[in-house]
A and B are shown apart, each in its own frame.
Chain A
Amino acid sequence: MIKAEQKPVDEILDFLKPHRKILLAGCNACVAVCHAGGEKEVGILSSALKMARKKAGQKIEILEDCSTRQCEPEFVQELKEKAEEVEAVLSIACGVGVQTVARMFSDIPVYPGLNTTFMGETDELGVWIERCQACGNCVLHVTGGVCPVARCAKQLLNGPCGGSQDGECEIGNDVPCAWQQIYDRLKTIGQLHRMEEIIPVKKWGRESRDKGPRTISREDLKL
C-alpha cells in the first residue's frame, strides 16, 4: 500500500502562515494504516498546530474531518460544506488525495501535510519497507518475487553489479543485495534458469511519464 510520513510541523506552519481558518482533512485508507493521516493523526496535528499558532499570537481555527478515501471524488465531496467555510485545506492524505481535494475545491489553496514516500509492506508494527515503484511492467515472475526495480539500489534488471558482497549491497546500512535475494529465492523454488532470462529495457510510454500521467482505462467497467 501507499506509505507516507508527516511533514515536519514547522514546515506545515510555514505555509499555513497566511491563513486563519483551515480544514484539516485526513484519509482513512492507506495513510491511516501507516499511522500518518488517519483520524488520530488529524487530531494530533490539529492540536499541535493550534498550540503553535497560539504561542505565536496568531490563533488559527481548524475544522477537522477524515474522508473514507480522499482519492474518490464522492468521498471528497462530503467535505464540501466545511471547505466552503475555510481559507485553505490542509490534506494529510497521500499526494493523490491532495490532488483530488485540489481539483474538487478549485478556488481555495490546498496544502499537503504528508510526504508520500513509497509503496511498501509492513515489516513489523511501525516499520514499512519499499517494495514497488509502479514501473508499469512487472518482472516479478522472472525474479522470483523480489523486485529489482524497487529493491536494487541501481535498479539493475539483469543480475547484480560488482558491489554485491556477502549478500549485502555496497551502499551499506545493512541493505541486502536484491540480486542475491533473487538468486537465493530462485534457487529455493528450483527456477535458477530464470537468472539467464534477459529482461529487456523498459518500454517508453507504459513505463514512464513521457506521454503524461499514466492512465488505466477499463472499457468493461466504464459507465
Chain B
Amino acid sequence: MVESFSPRIVAFCCDKSGYVAADMVGKLRLSLPESLDIVRVPCAGRIDALHLLQALEKGADGVLIFACHEENCQSLTGNIRAKARMGYLHGIMERIGLEKERLDLCNLATNNGAKFAETVLQKFDELKKLGPSPVE
C-alpha cells in the first residue's frame, strides 16, 4: 500500500551544524517524520562511505547528510570529503540500480532549523513518490 508507506530516513548530522539545526527544529516545534533517525557525528568528514551504504543496506529508504556550508568546516575539508564520498557512492548506486536521490547532502548552519525540517520533509515526499527502497 503506497498510502501508508512512510519512508525511513537516516540523517547523518555534523555536530557543528546539522545536529544543532536538528535541535532547533524541536525548539521551533516544527514537525519531523517519525521515521527519521538522527546520527550525530563530530564532523561530516567522519561519515564513511561504508556507513552510508550500511544505512541503505539496513533498510533506509533515503540517507541525508547535514554538513556545514562549504569553506566553513571547522576541520577544513570535512564537508567536502563527505560530498566527494557521496559522489563516489552515487556512481556505485547508479550501477546497481539504486536511485541517486536516496542519498543526498544539505549544507546548512546551526541556525537553519527551518531549512533542516524543510529538507527532511522534501526528501520524505520525494522518497514517497520513489517508493520503498528496492533493496529492503
A and B touch in the complex (CB under 8 A): yes
Pick the residue among B48, B49, B54, B134 that contacts A55 (CB under 8 A).
Answer: B134
Interface pair A43/B50, CB less than 8 Å apart:
yes
Residues of B within 8 A of A44 (CB): 49-50, 53, 92
A80 CB–B CB distance under 8 Å? no
From B37-45, B65-73, B95-103, B108-116, the one touching the partner chain is: B95-103
Q: How far is the CA of A113 from the CA of B59 in the complex (A)?
A: 26
Q: How far is the CA of A16 from the CA of B53 in the complex (A)?
A: 20
Interface pair A8/B54, CB less than 8 Å apart:
no
Interface size class of A (residues with CB under 8 A): 10 to 19
Q: A55-B97, A55-B135 are in contact. Are A48 and B92 (CB under 8 A)?
A: yes
B23 CB–A CB distance under 8 Å? no
Interface pair A10/B96, CB less than 8 Å apart:
yes
A47 CB–B CB distance under 8 Å? yes
Pick the residue among A8, A40, A54 that contacts B95 (CB under 8 A).
Answer: A8
Query: CB-defined interface of B84-108 with A at 8 Å, one 1/0 digit per residue?
Result: 0000000010011110000000000
Q: A51-B135, A55-B134, A55-B135 are in contact. Are A13 and B96 (CB under 8 A)?
A: yes
Q: A51-B57, A55-B135 are in contact. Are A9 and B50 (CB under 8 A)?
A: no
Q: How far is the CA of A8 from the CA of B95 in the complex (A)?
A: 7
Pick the residue among B57, B92, B95 that contacts A50 (CB under 8 A).
Answer: B57
Within 8 A of A (CB), among B7-55: 48-50, 53-54
**A13 nearest CB neighbor, chain B only:** B96
**B48 nearest CB neighbor, chain A only:** A40
Query: CB-defined interface of A40-61 with B at 8 Å, one 1/0 digit per residue?
Result: 1001100111111011000000
21 A-B pairs within 8 Å (CB atoms) are namely A9-B92, A9-B95, A10-B95, A10-B96, A40-B49, A40-B50, A43-B50, A44-B49, A44-B50, A44-B92, A47-B50, A47-B53, A47-B56, A48-B92, A51-B53, A51-B56, A51-B57, A51-B96, A51-B98, A52-B97, A55-B135
Q: Which residues of B contact A (CB under 8 A)?
A: 48-50, 53-54, 56-57, 92, 95-98, 134-136
